[in-house]
Amino acid sequence: MKKWNLMLAIIILTAAALTGCSGSDNSGATPTEASKDAASVPQVLTANLSGGEPYTLDPAFASDTTSYFIIDNLYEGLYTYDKSGKIVEGAASKVDISPDAKTYTFTIRDGAKWSNGDPVTAHDFEYSWKRILNPKTAAYDPSSLYYIKGAEEYNKGKGKVENVGVTAKDDRTLLVELKAPLGIFPTIAVGHAYLPVRSTVVDQNEKWAAEANTIVGNGPYSPQEWKHNEQITLTKNANYWNKDAISMETIHFKMVQDATTYYQMYKTGDLDLILALPLDTIDQEKNNKEYLSHPSFSVYTYSFNVKEKPFTNRKIRQAFSYAIDRETLTTNVTKGGEKAAFGYVPYGVINPSGKDYRDDAPEKYYAFNAEKAKQLLAEGLKEEGLTQLPTVTFKYNTADNHKKIAEALQAMLLENLGVEVKLENQEWKTYIDTFKQKNFQIARMGWEGNYLDPLGVLGHYTSSNSNNFTNWSNKTYDDLIEKATYELDANKRVALTQQAEKVLMEDLPIIPILFSADTALVSPKVTGIVFDARSNPDLRFATRVEK
Amino acid sequence: MYVVKRLFTMLVTLWVIVTLTFLIMHLIPGDPFATDSKAIPEAVLENMRARYNLDKPLSTQYVLYLKNLLTFDLGPSIQSKTTDVNTLIARGFVPSALLGIQSMLLALFAGIMLGTIAALHHNRALDFISMFIAMLGISIPSFILAPLLIKYMAVQWGLLPVAAWGTWKHTLLPTFALAVTPIAIIARFVRTSMLEVLHQEYIHTAEAKGLPTWKIVLKHGLRNSLIPVLSFIGPLFASVVTGTFVVEKIFAIPGIGKYFVDSIFNRDYPVIMGTTIFYSVVLVVTLFLIDLSYRFIDPRIKLSSKGA
Contacts of A429 in chain B (CB under 8 A): 28-31, 34, 265-267
Nearest CB to A257 within list B28, B252, B266: B252
- Closest approach of B197 to chain A, Cα-based (Å): 45
Separation between Cα atoms, residue A359 and residue A356, nearest integer Å? 5
pLDDT of residue A55: 87
Chain B residue numbers with beta carbons less than 8 Å from the beta carbon of A267 are 155
Contacts of A155 in chain B (CB under 8 A): 43-44, 47
What's at A414, amino acid-wise? L
How far is the CA of B147 from the CAs of A255, A260, A520, B150, B277, in angstroms?
17, 8, 21, 5, 31
In the predicted structure, residue A4 carries a pLDDT above the cut 70: no
pLDDT band at residue A397 using 50, 70 and 90 as cut-offs: very high
Predicted pLDDT at A513: 96
Q: How far is the C-alpha of A259 from the C-alpha of A287, rounded, in Å?
A: 20
Q: Which candidate from B37, B47, B249 shows the least CB-CB separation from A446?
A: B37
Amino acid at B54: L
Poorest-pLDDT segment among A7-21, A124-138, A454-468, B266-280: A7-21
d(CA A106, CA A108): 6
If we measure between CA atoms, which residue out of A73, A488, A257 comes closest to residue B248?
A257
Instruction: Kindly list the residues from chain B whose CB atom is less than 8 angstroms away from the CB atom of residue A57.
Output: 82
Strand ranges inside A32-84, DSSP E: 44-48, 79-81
pLDDT for residue A150 is more than 70? yes
Residues 6+ apart with CB under 8 A from B66: B18
| CB-count burial class (<10 Å; 0-12, 13-18, 19+) for A225 | middle
Cα(first)–Cα(last) distance of chain B, in Å?
13
Domains of chain B: 94-297 (1.10.3720.10)
Asked if B43's CB is within 8 angstroms of A156's CB, the reply is yes
- Find all residues with CB under 8 Å of B65, minimum gap 6, and list them: B18, B22, B75, B273
Tell me the percentage of chain B whose pLDDT exceeds 90.
Answer: 41
Residue spans of alpha helices (H) in A12-74: 31-40, 65-74
pLDDT at A299 (0 to 100): 93
Interface test with A, best of B36, B82, B261 (most A CBs within 10 A): B36
pLDDT score of A483 = 93
Eight-class DSSP state of B296: H
B267 vs A53, A429, A467: nearest CB: A429
Contact A254 B164 (CB under 8 A): yes
ipTM, 2 dp: 0.85
Q: Which of B29, B155, B163 sits opposite A267 (nearest CB)?
A: B155
**Alpha-helix residue ranges (DSSP H) falling in A468-536:** 475-486, 490-507
Measured in whole angstroms, how far is the alpha carbon of residue B32 from the centre of its chain? 27
- Whole-angstrom Cα distance, residue B109 to residue B218? 13
Helix (H) or strand (E) holding A106, with range, is strand A103-108
Closest CA to A409 of A337, A469, A321: A321
Residues in chain B: 308
Which chain B residue shows the shortest CA-CA distance from A62? B80
pLDDT in tens, A465-524: 888 899 999 999 999 999 999 888 999 999 999 999 999 999 999 999 999 888 899 999
Q: Which residues of A touch B250 (CB under 8 A)?
A: 258, 260-261
**pLDDT tens, residue by residue, A260-276:** 999 999 999 999 999 98
Rounded CA-CA distance A429/B259 in Å is: 16
* CA pair distance B104, A70, nearest whole angstrom: 37
| B41 contact partners, CB below 8 Å, separation of at least 6 | A143, A466
Closest C-alpha to A66, from A298, A232, A266, A279: A232
Secondary structure class of A91 (helix, strand, coil): coil
pLDDT, tens digit (0-9, with 9 covering 90-100), for A90-144: 999 999 999 888 999 999 999 999 999 999 999 999 999 999 999 999 888 898 9
Cβ within 8 Å, pair A264-B162: yes
Residue A467's nearest CA partner among A296, A316, A295, A299 is A299
Rounded Cα distance between A403 and A423, Å, is 9
* Distance (Å) of CA B16 to CA A232, B9, B68, B259, B276: 40, 11, 17, 22, 12
Q: How far is CA A75 from CA A59, A66, A159, in A?
A: 8, 15, 29
pLDDT band (50, 70, 90) for residue B303: low
Measured CA to CA in angstroms, residue A140 lies from A114, A137, A433, B35, B77 at distances of: 24, 9, 18, 10, 15
Out of A305-309, A345-349, A375-379, B161-165, which region has the weakest mean confidence (pLDDT)? B161-165
Predicted confidence at residue A9, as pLDDT, reads 39
A276: left (phi over 0), alpha (psi -120 to 50) or beta: left
- Is the Cα dihedral A152, A155, A157, A161 positive or negative? positive
Q: Is the pLDDT of residue A89 over 80?
A: yes
**Does residue A405 surpass a pLDDT of 70?**
yes
Report the pLDDT value the prediction gives residue A21, as an integer from 0 to 100: 37
| Separation CA A306–CA B295 (nearest Å) | 70
State phi, psi for B276 to the nearest 5 degrees.
Answer: -65, -45
Q: Would an 8 Å CB–CB cutoff place A4 in contact with chain B?
A: yes
Does the pLDDT at position B64 exceed 80?
yes
Mean confidence (pLDDT) of chain B: 87
User: Angle A236-A518-A543 (CA atoms, 0-180°, nearest 5)?
Assistant: 25
Interface of A with B in 75-114 (CB under 8 A): none
Helix B2-27 crosses helix B58-70 at what angle (to 10 degrees)? 140
What pLDDT is recorded for position A151? Answer: 95
The pLDDT value given to residue B35:
64
Lowest mean pLDDT among A26-40, A455-469, B122-136: A26-40
How does strand A250-254 pair with strand A44-48? parallel
Residues 6+ apart with CB under 8 A from B105: none
Q: Which of B29, B51, B81 sits opposite A55 (nearest CB)?
A: B81
pLDDT at residue A28, as a whole number: 44
Cis, bond preceding B147 (omega within 30 deg of 0): no
Average pLDDT over residues B64-69: 93
Inter-chain CB proximity A257 and B37 less than 8 Å? no
How large is the angle between the packed helices B269-297 and B223-241, nearest 10 degrees?
A: 170
Q: Is B30 left (phi over 0), alpha (psi -120 to 50) or beta?
A: left
Which of B162, B171, B269 is the best substitution to test chain A (most A C-beta atoms within 10 A)? Answer: B162
Question: Is A136 close to B30, i.e. CB distance below 8 A?
Answer: no
Tell me whether residue B55 is exposed, middle or buried, using C-beta atoms within 10 angstroms of its C-beta: 0 to 12, 13 to 18, 19 or more.
Answer: middle
The DSSP H or E segment spanning A62 is none
Amino acid at A319: A
Please enumerate in sequence order all residues whose Cβ is within 8 A of that of B178, keeping only pairs 6 or more positions apart, or say none: B99, B100, B103, B142, B240, B244, B247
Q: How do beta strands A392-397 and A442-448 pair?
A: parallel
- Between B184 and B220, the more confident residue is B184
pTM of this prediction? 0.87
Q: Answer left, alpha or beta for residue A388, where phi above 0 means left and psi between -120 and 50 means alpha.
A: beta
Res. B305 pLDDT band, cuts 50 70 90: very low
Instruction: List the single best residue of B28, B35, B37, B94 to mutate versus A (max A Cβ within 10 A).
Output: B37
Q: Is A486 on the interface with B (CB under 8 A)?
A: no
Q: Smallest Cα–Cα separation from A45: which of A209, A191, A221?
A: A221
CB contact under 8 A, B36 and A136: no
Please give the pLDDT value at position B227: 81
Cα–Cα distance between B236 and B230 in angstroms, integer?
Answer: 10
Residue pairs between chains A and B whose CB atoms are closer than 8 Å: 159
pLDDT band at A24 (very low <50, low <70, confident <90, very high): low
Q: Alpha carbon of A409 to those of A302, A306, A330, A424: distances in Å?
A: 10, 19, 12, 13
Mean pLDDT within B234-247: 88
Nearest chain A residue to B76, by CA: A207
Q: How many CB atoms lie within 10 A of CB A107?
A: 16
Q: Which residues pair with A173 in a beta bridge?
A: A107, A170
Q: Contact A148/A175 with Cβ under 8 angstroms?
A: no
DSSP per-residue letters across B239-280: HHHT--HHHHHHTT--SSHHHHHHHHHHT-HHHHHHHHHHHH
Is pLDDT at A425 greater than 70 in this prediction? Answer: yes
B229, B293 Cβ separation under 8 angstroms: no
Q: Does B254 contact A469 at a Cβ distance shorter than 8 Å?
A: no
Residues 6+ apart with CB under 8 A from B222: B112, B116, B194
Judging contacts by C-beta atoms under 8 Å, the chain B residues touching residue A208 are 82
Confidence band for A334, pLDDT divided at 50, 70 and 90: confident
Please name which of A499, A468, A467, A466 lies closest in space to residue A481, comparing C-alpha atoms: A499
Q: If you measure CA to CA, which chain B residue comes closest to A229?
A: B254
What's the count of helices (H) and strands (E) in chain A, helices before strands? 18, 21
Name the residue among A138, A209, A267 with its Cβ closest to that of B47: A138
The set of residues, in sequence order, having a beta carbon less than 8 Å from that of A286 and lying 6+ positions away, is A16, A337
